[in-house]
Amino acid sequence: MELFEYRFRVHASLEAVSFFHQSTHVLKRLTPPPLFVQIHCVEPLAEGSRSEFTLWFGPLPLRWTAIHSAVDPKLGFTDTQTRGPMKSWQHRHEWHAVDPHTTMVTERIQYEHHAGVRGLLTRLLFARPLLKFMFAYRRWVIRRGVKDSQE
């Protein structure tokens, strides 16, 4: 099992960061180009809620279903792949207040690729440098999105 972690600060309140993550449209906003996400079903964030989508890497579709758990507006939530390209994928989104106007966001993913040829595609598409790019993009979107919602 591999672990990927990415942390960053957002100059916004804990409540603003939490509110941003509760949008059913947030996945589209957080997906960096050249990826494209096609949403099939996204239920409002709650314990046991489900998201179904396809990530398009150019012409390659990766169908994904995730279930949310450990949902707490003041702490974050976890999404766990129940169907998808990885052998396993659990993504914990956490936030905590640094001060009343600053929030620390931590993105932690525990994941495992399938063995052999079956896991070759995900080893390429979810390699550590690409994950760093994806989460740097997410950092930028979250910072902008939270700022825009406060104005």
**Alpha-carbon gap, residue 26 to 72, rounded angstroms:** 17
Lowest mean pLDDT among 11-15, 105-109, 144-148: 144-148
Task: Find the domain containing 82 and state its range.
Answer: 2-23+68-150
- Nearest residue to 6 (alpha-carbon basis) of 131, 151, 149: 131
Using the predicted structure, report yes or no on whether residue 149 has a pLDDT greater than 70.
Answer: no
Alpha-helical regions (H) of the chain: 14-21, 26-30, 120-125, 128-150
**56 found inside a domain:** no
Environment class of 25 (CB within 10 Å of its CB; exposed 0-12, middle 13-18, buried 19+): exposed
Residue labelled with tokens 């914990």: 92
**57 found inside a domain:** no
**38 found inside a domain:** no
**76 found inside a domain:** yes
Report pLDDT digits (tens) over 47-62.
Answer: 999 999 999 988 999 9
Using the predicted structure, report yes or no on whether residue 68 has a pLDDT greater than 70.
Answer: yes
**49 found inside a domain:** no
CATH of residue 120's domain is 3.30.530.20
Q: In which band, very low, low, confident or very high, does the pLDDT at 118 lie, cut at 50, 70 and 90?
A: confident
- How many Cβ atoms sit within 10 Å of the Cβ of residue 144? 12
Alpha-helical regions (H) of 12-127: 14-21, 26-30, 120-125
**Alpha-carbon gap, residue 114 to 75, rounded angstroms:** 31
Using the predicted structure, report yes or no on whether residue 16 has a pLDDT greater than 60.
Answer: yes
Total domains in the chain come to: 1
